[in-house]
Structure 1
Amino acid sequence: MEMPSKQQAIASNRDAWNDSARHHKETAQWQALLSAVTQADFSCLDETLIGVLNPVGIDGKDVVQLGCNNGRESLSLFALGARHVVGVDQSVAFLEQARELASRSPHSPEFIEADIHHLPQSLQGRFDVALVTIGVLNWMPDIGEFFRHAAQTLKPGGALVLYETHPFLEMLDPQAPDPYRLASSYFRHEPFVQNQPIVYEGKVEQQAAPSYWFVHTLGAIFSGALEAGLQISHFREYPHSNREELYDRYEAQEAQVPMCFTWVGVKRGLLITQCNK
């Protein structure tokens, strides 16, 4: 199979996510979300992420979420005291959903359409905290370039916070006949390719633009961040899943694999210290 160029993969992923948005809106979860965001203290963030964000400090801060999807997590940052929140995504269709949710919220986030590789100048050096949650890193063909652009959004001393699926899980296929047998190399270079719509649970048997899911080792993540001028102040791995329900089968095993991680990198300047609790 011929691999796409970086630009082709980014554009195809954008098309795939724009197509995906309608499937996510046709759910009971969307209707519940429309109601939930009307509350000033709305939050969909789990305890793990909140436990990392609180020591970093969100109260009174300017925060950007890179890869904000439908904006539900961006809206949740106000419950932690964020002063101003900007959500960035390259999917116009998901940003329409984000703005619909924001229109029902007592808060006023800003949502911007932009590819992480072409962020507007107005976002440079502006934020105290940048947030990246599950799945964002794996849509990035070049993880080092991602960190360079992400770091540029931060003020000196600002923190980039990641809450991501663990790359070890990319070695396993929960739908395989033997889901505990290693199915792919940890050092895989070629992306996983999907030609059906991107949905969080199950499958939609329709043709869609190809989406390209890139695997990045922890070494590549750490090296890319350090080269981008970020000083790592926190890293912790967890035995719980923060992705699709089919991965729940790997939890609570006698021989437990790491399933997700949290990570904080501080832009060189004023150092924010954080303990691994």
Structure 2
Amino acid sequence: MSVTEGPGTEHVRPATPAEAADVAAMHGANRAAWDEAAERYEGWLAETIELIRGGGTNLFPEELELIGDLHGRCRRAIHLQCAGGRDTLSLWNLGAAEVVGVDFSPRMLDLAERLTRATDAPARWILADVLETPHELDGTGDLVYTGRGSLMWLQDLDAWAAVVARLVSAAGRFVLFEGHPIEWLFDIDEDGRWIATDYDYFAGPEASKGWAPEYIDRLARDDADQSWKFARAWTLGEVVTALLRAGLRLERVAEHPRDWWGGHPDVRPEDRGRIPLSFSVLAGAPRPNA
């Protein structure tokens, strides 16, 4: 089940050709939707403060393996599409001297600022569409990190990859941990078995209102009164190709059974691990003059 399916998300349709042609408008709609979704993140703030104060991390083992110990080797970690900052400050707890989060939602960054004040973290938050990340950050990211349901909200993957490429420092690394696009092709039946959906793997953007319960859950505002948002399942080939076009030096691409958003709690134990639900990428900075 995709994050735009399930109870609470009855309002789903393909994007119109006019909508699909206007990247800025789709990103603007997503900004409004994520401002609304920040309501749920506010409820998790106390828990997040406790996690970060305790030196904890919100990252999965697959991510930790790629990121490693950042003490003494990461002057700045840049987190693209950082939302409320929990994963960003997890990078600080892993040893990054400074963390910078970029997100387009003012309400999300307000939460990140509150988290920073509560933890005294060396964090900086930048309000911007990821495609318009300020050039002052170019070449300063010893680690550039993103994922966890971020790519699906982007509508120009080549432009995104170009931003990543310009941010990574000469000796830096890019780490992506993301939901696998093939997940959109499967749901589970009443017995907890994987079944195929009728989703088109190569479909373009999809418009929806409301959120899957396992992802954001219901908001105070009725689904019909929420903002339209636009998501798409970029194929694994499209993601890898965009990074290569941008000049990034891919070192590793891996697929994982990790259910990163908890969207399949009822899958039978014997069926877990049969489908890749996430993937990861490790890449180095483009070669000079590439």
TM-score interval for Structure 1 and Structure 2 normalised by the shorter chain:
0.7 to 0.9
* 1:15 is aligned to 2:32: yes
Q: Does 1:6 align with 2:23?
A: yes
Contact 1:201–1:245 (CA<8 Å) still a contact in 2?
Answer: no
1:180 matched to which residue of 2?
Answer: 195
1:250 CA displacement: 7.3
Question: Which segment drifts farther, 64-73 or 142-151?
Answer: 142-151
Unmatched tracts of structure 1, length 5 or more? 271-277
1:99 aligns with 2:117: no
Aligned counterpart in structure 2 of residue 244 of structure 1, from 262, 268, 274: 262
Give the RMSD, CA atoms, in angstroms.
Answer: 2.4
On the 8 A contact 2:52/2:93 being kept in 1, the answer is: no
Kindly tell me: are residues 171 and 198 of structure 1, through their superposed partners in 2, closer, same or farther at Cα, counting changes over 3 Å?
Answer: closer
**Does the residue aligned with 1:37 lie in a helix, a strand or coil?**
helix
Per the normalisation by structure 1, the TM-score is 0.87
1:42–1:75: 8 Å Cα contact kept in structure 2?
A: no
- Note if contact 1:68-1:88 (Cα within 8 Å) is conserved in structure 2: yes
Any idea what the Cα deviations from partners look like across 1:175-217, whole Å, max 9, x if unmatched?
89996123212222x2222112687244343321111111111
Deviations 1:109-157 (A, max 9, x none): 1111111111112111111110012111111112111101121111223
Match of 2:131 in 1: 117
Q: 5+ residue gaps in structure 2? A: 1-14
- Residues 1:218 and 1:24: Cα distance change in structure 2 (over 3 Å): same
Percent identity of paired positions between Structure 1 and Structure 2 = 23
* Change beyond 3 A, Cα 1:196–1:171: same
- Measured against aligned partners, the alpha-carbon deviations of 1:234-276 in whole angstroms (never above 9, x if no partner) come to 1111112102333662774178111111111211239xxxxxx
Secondary structure of the corresponding residue to residue 226 of structure 2: coil
Tell me the alpha carbon deviations over residues 5-32 of structure 1, each in whole angstroms, 9 at most, x when there is no partner: 111101000011011111332x3x3332
Match of residue 131 from structure 1: 145
Counterpart mapping for 1:3-152 below 5 A: 3=17, 4=19, 5-25=22-42, 27=43, 29-39=44-54, 41-54=55-68, 58-60=70-72, 61=74, 62-152=76-166
Higher relative contact order, chain-length normalized (CA < 8 Å, sep 6+): 2
- Specify the SS of the correspondent of 1:193: strand
